[in-house]
Structure 1
């Protein structure tokens, strides 16, 4: 392995190990504000996404993140405080609650009148397949869009509604239809983090290297969103790992700036150029160099007995 690649991957592994260690001893909860409507996204928001990552992954809100479990030390302390070993015995004696029976899904509401363009686009967001089907059966265009040229396929891709996306494509929806920011459904599927939609669009002939107005590819978007599985899929399907956006930056520049360590390692192993300069003359390696000092300082400050307390 090339010495530069070896050095970078080892440094990333060290950073990942440090993050995992810190996560073991801290619980985190994530709250999300109400996300903006799709139609509200504009060029400044795309610029902000590039700098700080994607804040809102879907119209209905950000997916829940796995909660960090309590450490064994905290658990043992909690048991002692509420009654020690006897408490465990009492817990074992308590009958287990029966699992609640899964309620049958409500029947889709019957649609009597015609479906308007606005209702059709809302149906794509909300996953209302019957309403979308009614619109299409009545002769509505699958490429119907709003004032920002966002189609139902854009919206369904962002939300991960695979069945609606399949129906739209079967009815002739343009797979690489561009909105006002030149984003396609593939960009929106990557932004929403929906691998199944990405695969569906790819199967229907979507361009994996298509660029939006910032010259960002789906790989750029998936990197900024932190969607490791989508990045891996795109790289395994031969996308250009060194494609540059409007500022001359590759996905590796984005990954380094946003501390996407797993993605950084993946990109490097798939041939991303660590010495590629952006318009400001900076390479990903220039940014990685900053980690070396930062990581070393953090590791040196770790107290040897800080990770575990006696029971």
Structure 2
């Protein structure tokens, strides 16, 4: 009988069946090549700087970034990648974009900036970097929202504080006349509401429907926020623009016994002068 012919292995799949030792050697070889490439680019950059050959410096970009011991090359970052990086908190990508002269105030199709996106997602480090690199804190998106509105919607106290430290207006309005306090109340971020009140945010401002933050808190059953607003002196007598006008107290449903009790207690305190009426002035 004829001798058996050994099956021929497909070269394209040979690496799939390699031994663990061979796979480890291949990985080590790749890492060594990356390190060597990194050293070469560092030497090129050093030589360019030493000899003042500034025209060679751009050739040394891509910048070397070190992550988990691996050397990675970065390519130029465009505006779309920059915007996505702001949403995802990728500081390194943003740094490359800005270092290459990218516009920190680039806007997407909804006129949102990177600062809007980072503020919404709660990336404090990105927000700080953008502000330091010239991001405009007052730019509006299509709905008239500024970065401070997005921060209050996202619920990051660190971002709100960072924006305020750079001059953000805590009483600014969007196209619906909503203030940051309205937004934080609707989204239920109690710590943000407390911070805004401590900074002197106007608590009786009314939106386009005539609702104050207290109207919103009662309607959405935000009991803790109702207590905060009342303790700060929110006016329970302000009527909104619905029908003939409804106060926050008149919005209370029968099942909202805790809120009703709190509002009634406030009225009694006002009757005996414990709560100053001047804290309840209407703010348009």
TM-score by length of 2: 0.64
Which fold has the larger relative contact order, with Cα–Cα distance below 8 Å and residues 6 or more apart in sequence? 1
Residue in 1 that maps onto 2:228: 266
Asked if structure 1 preserves the Cα contact closer than 8 Å seen for 2:152 and 2:183, the reply is yes
CA-to-aligned-CA distance 1:114-154 (integer Å, 9 cap, x gap): 10110000000111100001000100111011011101000
**Paired residue for 2:109, among 130, 147, 162?**
147
Residue in 2 that maps onto 1:193: 155
Report matched runs for 1:210-289 at 5 Å.
210-280=172-242, 281-288=245-252
Q: 1:169 to 1:295 in 2, by over 3 A?
A: closer
Q: 1:111 to 1:217 in 2, by over 3 A?
A: farther
**Paired residue for 2:98, among 126, 136, 140?**
136
Asked if structure 2 preserves the Cα contact closer than 8 Å seen for 1:252 and 1:274, the reply is yes
Write the distance in 1 (CA, Å) between the matches of 2:132 and 2:213: 32
Q: How well do the aligned residues superpose, as a CA RMSD in angstroms?
A: 2.0
Number of residue pairs aligned between Structure 1 and Structure 2: 192
Write the distance in 2 (CA, Å) between the matches of 1:294 and 1:233: 23
Asked if structure 1 preserves the Cα contact closer than 8 Å seen for 2:145 and 2:174, the reply is yes
Q: CA deviation at 1:294?
A: 9.2
Write the distance in 2 (CA, Å) between the matches of 1:146 and 1:168: 16
Gaps of 5+ in 1: 1-104, 297-311
Displaced runs of 4 or more, over 6 A? 292-296
Report matched runs for 1:44-63 at 5 Å.
none
Q: CA deviation at 1:107?
A: 6.5
Residue in 2 that maps onto 1:57: none
In terms of Rg, which structure is larger? Answer: 2
Asked if structure 2 preserves the Cα contact closer than 8 Å seen for 1:108 and 1:130, the reply is no
Residue in 1 that maps onto 2:38: none
Q: 1:195 to 1:292 in 2, by over 3 A?
A: closer
Write the distance in 1 (CA, Å) between the matches of 2:166 and 2:86: 19
Asked if structure 2 preserves the Cα contact closer than 8 Å seen for 1:275 and 1:283, the reply is yes
Per the alignment, in what secondary structure is the counterpart of residue 150 of structure 1?
A: coil
Write the distance in 2 (CA, Å) between the matches of 1:202 and 1:108: 38
